[in-house]
Structure 1
Amino acid sequence: MSPHTFHTLPSLRHAVRGICRAHRLPSPNGARLVLSVSRLATAALDAGGSVRLEAVEHPAPGGRTLLAVTLHAGRTPASPSPADLPLPGEATPDGTVAWHLPLGDIDGRGADRPAALAPPAPRATAPARGGAREAAAEVYEAEIAALEGELGAALSRVDTLSTELHRLKDELAETNSGVLALYVQLEERDEQLRRAHGQILRELEDALRPPPITVNGMDLAVHYAPADPDAPTGGDFYDWLLLPDGTVHITVVDALGHGVRSTRSALNVTHAVRTLALEGHPLESIVARTHDILAPFDPELMATVLLARIDPETGALQLANGSHPPALVVRADGTADYLELRGRGIGFPLPGSDTVREDTLHEGDLLMLYTDGLTESRRDPIEGEARLVKSAQAHAGRPVEEIPGAVAQDMHTVILHPDDTLALAVRRARKPQCGHPLAGQP
C-alpha cells in the first residue's frame, strides 16, 4: 500500500483502526497501535504539519507474515520516545517510526478489507457557523483524549497483570523444579535405605547359615539367591554337619512363604533336625519327630524337607524325604538319575518319610540337592527337572564351588515365577585325601 498523508488526528485514527480491522490484528495490539500512532503524530499535527502512514505485509522466517506499519511524522521536542509508547516501535534519525506486527490467518483475497489508509469520507452536514463547528470539534477531541487516556490506563493495567502473570509462572516453575528435585532426593534416599536394609538382612542371614565344612574325600558347595534382592530373607535353608560316627548329615528345608517369618520357620526346622540327628535318632524317623516337636509351638508351620546321610569312606548314601523335590545324582560316566522318594513334609497330614532310600556315591559322582525355586522358575516342574539334568551334566566336571552357581544361572535364564533358590552340590573325590574324615570340623 502506498503512503497516505493525513492533516488531522481523527482521520489518522480512523485510518489506523481500518488497518487493524483489515489485517485482523488482535484487539490489544490494535489499541496499542492506535495510541502509539496518535501520540507520535499529535506534536506534528498541532504544529500545523502533516504525517504520512503506510502499511505493508511481508513474509517472515518460519512461514509467518508480518505487518509493517510506518509513520513519517518527523521529530519535535514534544515527540515521545518510541521506546515509551504503548506499542514500542523502531525509530530512525529522520523521525520515522515503524512497527512490525505478526499476523494470523488472512483469507488473502482482500475483497472484504476496507480501504484502510483512505481518510474518512466527509459527512454531509447542514451549514453551520464556524464557531459552532470548532466548538463541536473541540468537544469531540476532548472526548477522544479522555477515551485514549482510559484506554492507556487499561493497557497499563494489562501490562502490569501480564508482568505479574509471568512472575507467577516463573515462581511456579521454580517451585515445580524444587519439588521435582526433592522428589528425586527422596527416591534416592529411599533406594539407599532399601539397599542398606537388604545388606543388613543379607549379613544377618549369612550369619545364620552354617559355614562350609571340610571332609576328607568329599567336596561340598552351596548357592543361595532370594526372590527379591532387596529382601534377602526367605524360607530356603540348609544345614550340614559331621556326626559322631563320621558320616555327613545334610538338611535342605523349604518353609512356606517369604520374608522373616519363613526364615524363622526354616531355622526352627534345621535346629530341630540337627538336635535329633546328633542325638542318634534313625534317619527315617526325623521328619515325623520334627513335626511333633514344632507343631505345638507353630501350628501354621509348613515346610518340605530332604535329609541326606553320606559315609565319606564308602560313599554309602541314605535319603529321607518330606514332600521335597528329589535329589539328583550325576554319575562319573555322565549318566544321571533322580533318587525319588515319597513322604510328607512338616505341617502336612501324616508327616514323615515313607522309607529311607539307599544308594552309593562312587568316585567322581555328583549329588545335587535343591529347592523348587531352581526347577519351577518357568512354572513347569517337569520341564525344569529335565533342564536341571542337562545343566548338571554340563557342569559336573567343574570345581565343586562353581557348580551350584553355574547351574542356577542356567536354570534362571527365564524367570516366570520368582522364588527363593537353593542349590547344594556334593561330589565324592576321585582320590580321597589321607586322614580322619572329621578333619576340619568346626
Structure 2
Amino acid sequence: MKPQITTLHSLAGLRSALRRLAHRAGLSVELRYRLALSATRVARAELAAGRPVLLETVPPRPSGRADGRPGEGRAGGGPGDGAAEGRLVVRLHLPHAPRRPSLEGLPLPAEQLPGTAAVWRVPAPVPSAEDTGRDDPPGLVELLEEELSAAVDRADALAEDHQRLKHELAETNSGVLALYVQLEERDEQLRQAHGRILRQLEDALRPPPVRVPGLEMAVHYEPAEKHAPTGGDLYDWFVLPDGTVHITIVDALGHGLTSTRSALNVTHAVRTLALEGHPLESIVARTDEVLATFDHELMATVQLVRLDPDSGELVLANGSHPPALLVREDGESSLLEVRGRGIGFPLPGSERLLRARLDPGDLLVLYTDGLTESRRDPREGELRLARAARRHRHLPIEEIPAAIADEMHTVILHPDDTVALTVRRVRG
C-alpha cells in the first residue's frame, strides 16, 4: 500500500488526522490518544512558529489481496522504511525545523530518523480485504468522547486499585503493629528474665554484709555498663575463727565477665589463705604466687582489712589499691595509706601493715577507684570523698554507701565499675 502524506498547519488538524487514521487502523483507544499526544508534543514548536509539518502514514497491509498474490514485503519506496504486516507506520516530518526534535519522555516512544523526522511503528490488527472497502469512521467528537470514556474507566480502575491497596496496607499495618506489640511484650519478658538472672548472679558474687555484734556494715556496687552488671570490682567479707572480721576489696583490670573471673580468683585465693592462717602481711604476695600458674594475664589491685569488733583494732595490707578512708565520729578524717604492689604487678605484695583503731561512731570507707576518679586528679577525688563521707556519716548504715556514690558521681572522668563499702563501729 502506498504511503499517505498530509501537510498540516495546526495542532488541531494534526490531532484530528491522527485520531481518524488510528481508528481506521483498529488501534485501541489508549494507543490512539498516546499516539496523538506524542505527535502533538513533537510538532508543537513548529506549528506554533507557523511552519507546516508533514504526516506520512502506512496502514497495515490487508491479510489477503484480490489478485491472490502475496502482499509486498515493503511499502513506501525506501529500503527498510515500509510497514511490516500488522503494523501502522506513522512518520512525522519537520522539514523546516532548525534542529532535530526531542523524543524524550513521549507517551508513545518514537524512533529518530535521519534529519528532522520521527517515526512510530504501532502494532495494529491486520484488516481483511473486505474491511478496507467499508471504512466509515465516526466523527471527531465521537472519537474524543470514546477517549474520554476510556480515560474515565482507567481512572475508576486506578481508584479501585488505590482503594484496594489502601485496604491491604491498612491490614498489613495492623498486622505489623500487632507484631510490634508482641515483640515489645516479648522483649519486656526477656528484660525481666535477664534482670532476674543478673540479680541472682550478683547475689552469688557479692555476699551480704556480715552480721557481727558491735559493727554495722553495708555496700554499694555500680557497674560501668547497666546492661552488663558484672565487672572486675568485687569484695568479700567473712569472720575468721578468732572472731575478727576479714574484708577484701579487689579491682581486676578490664570489664565484663573476664575481669569478673579474675576478681573471683583473687577473692577465693585470699579467703583460702586467710582461713588457713597465713599472716596478713604475706597474703597479697602469696595470692600472686598461687594465681600466676594458671592466670598469666591477671592484674588486680587488692586491699585487705582485719577488724576486731570488740577492741576496734584495725589492720590493713595493700597491693596498689586506693587508700581507705577513716572518718571519726566528730568529722575528722584521714586516709589510711599503705604502699604495696598488686596481683600481677612486678614484686607483688604489701610493704607493711598499717594499724589503727575504729572507735564507737567512727566510719571506715573502703572503695575502688571508680568512686574517686574525677576530671582533675586522684587527690582531688579523695578530698571530695572525705567531704561526702563527713556529710553522710550519720545516715543509717545501709544508706551511706549509695549516698556517697551518688554525690561522687556528679563529677567523673569516665564511667567505671564502683564498689563503696562502709563499716561503722557502734557502742555495745
After TM superposition, the score normalised by the length of structure 2 is 0.64
Aligned to 2:186: 189
Aligned to 1:258: 255
Aligned to 1:271: 268
Aligned to 1:409: 406
- Counting only pairs closer than 5 Å after superposition, residues 103-182 of structure 1 correspond to structure 2 as 142-182=139-179
Aligned to 1:367: 364
Match of 1:333 among 330, 333, 346: 330
Change in Cα spacing, 1:380 to 1:197, as seen in structure 2 (3 Å) is: farther
Q: Secondary structure in 2 aligned to 1:375?
A: coil
Aligned to 2:87: none
Aligned to 1:56: none
Change in Cα spacing, 1:379 to 1:372, as seen in structure 2 (3 Å) is: farther
CA shift digits 1:126-152 (9 cap, x unpaired): xxxxxxxxxxxxx89634223312331
Aligned to 1:230: 227
Q: Note the C-alpha offset of 1:173.
A: 4.5
Q: Secondary structure in 2 aligned to 1:373?
A: coil
Mapped contact 2:252–2:298 kept (Cα < 8 A): yes
- Output the CA distance in 2 between the equivalents of 1:200 and 1:342: 39
What letter corresponds to residue 328 of structure 1 in structure 2? L
Change in Cα spacing, 1:258 to 1:195, as seen in structure 2 (3 Å) is: farther
Q: Note the C-alpha offset of 1:422.
A: 1.1
Q: Secondary structure in 2 aligned to 1:372?
A: coil
What letter corresponds to residue 315 of structure 2 in structure 1? Q
Structure 2 alignment gaps of length 5 or more: 1-32, 34-135
- Counting only pairs closer than 5 Å after superposition, residues 210-359 of structure 1 correspond to structure 2 as 210-359=207-356
Match of 2:384 among 381, 384, 387: 387
Q: Note the C-alpha offset of 1:181.
A: 4.5
Structure 1 alignment gaps of length 5 or more: 1-30, 32-138, 433-442
- Show structure 1 runs of 4+ deviating over 6 A: none
Mapped contact 1:222–1:422 kept (Cα < 8 A): yes
- Output the CA distance in 2 between the equivalents of 1:146 and 1:266: 91
RMSD: 2.7
- Output the CA distance in 1 between the equivalents of 2:150 and 2:138: 18
Q: Secondary structure in 1 aligned to 2:238?
A: strand
Q: Note the C-alpha offset of 1:223.
A: 1.6
- Output the CA distance in 1 between the equivalents of 2:174 and 2:369: 48
Q: Secondary structure in 1 aligned to 2:420?
A: strand
Q: Note the C-alpha offset of 1:279.
A: 1.3
- Output the CA distance in 2 between the equivalents of 1:379 and 1:163: 70
- Output the CA distance in 1 between the equivalents of 2:261 and 2:398: 27
What letter corresponds to residue 336 of structure 1 in structure 2? S
Q: Note the C-alpha offset of 1:178.
A: 3.3
- Output the CA distance in 1 between the equivalents of 2:175 and 2:374: 43
What letter corresponds to residue 228 of structure 1 in structure 2? E
Point out the more displaced range, 402-411 or 183-192: 183-192
- Output the CA distance in 2 between the equivalents of 1:352 and 1:191: 47
- Counting only pairs closer than 5 Å after superposition, residues 21-100 of structure 1 correspond to structure 2 as none
Q: Secondary structure in 2 aligned to 1:192?
A: helix
Q: Note the C-alpha offset of 1:276.
A: 0.7
After TM superposition, the score normalised by the length of structure 1 is 0.62
- Output the CA distance in 2 between the equivalents of 1:149 and 1:363: 106
- Output the CA distance in 1 between the equivalents of 2:191 and 2:297: 29
Query: Number of residues paired by the alignment?
Result: 297
- Output the CA distance in 2 between the equivalents of 1:328 and 1:196: 38
Mapped contact 1:379–1:417 kept (Cα < 8 A): no
What letter corresponds to residue 159 of structure 2 in structure 1? S
- Output the CA distance in 1 between the equivalents of 2:189 and 2:228: 14
Mapped contact 1:198–1:232 kept (Cα < 8 A): no
- Output the CA distance in 1 between the equivalents of 2:216 and 2:138: 111
Q: Secondary structure in 1 aligned to 2:261?
A: helix
Mapped contact 1:249–1:307 kept (Cα < 8 A): yes
Mapped contact 1:198–1:229 kept (Cα < 8 A): no
Mapped contact 2:232–2:255 kept (Cα < 8 A): yes
Change in Cα spacing, 1:417 to 1:312, as seen in structure 2 (3 Å) is: same
What letter corresponds to residue 182 of structure 1 in structure 2? L
Q: Note the C-alpha offset of 1:358.
A: 1.6
- Output the CA distance in 2 between the equivalents of 1:206 and 1:379: 34
- Output the CA distance in 2 between the equivalents of 1:144 and 1:397: 101
Aligned to 1:51: none
Point out the more displaced range, 169-178 or 231-240: 169-178
Q: Note the C-alpha offset of 1:230.
A: 3.1
- Output the CA distance in 2 between the equivalents of 1:192 and 1:416: 35
Q: Secondary structure in 1 aligned to 2:231?
A: coil
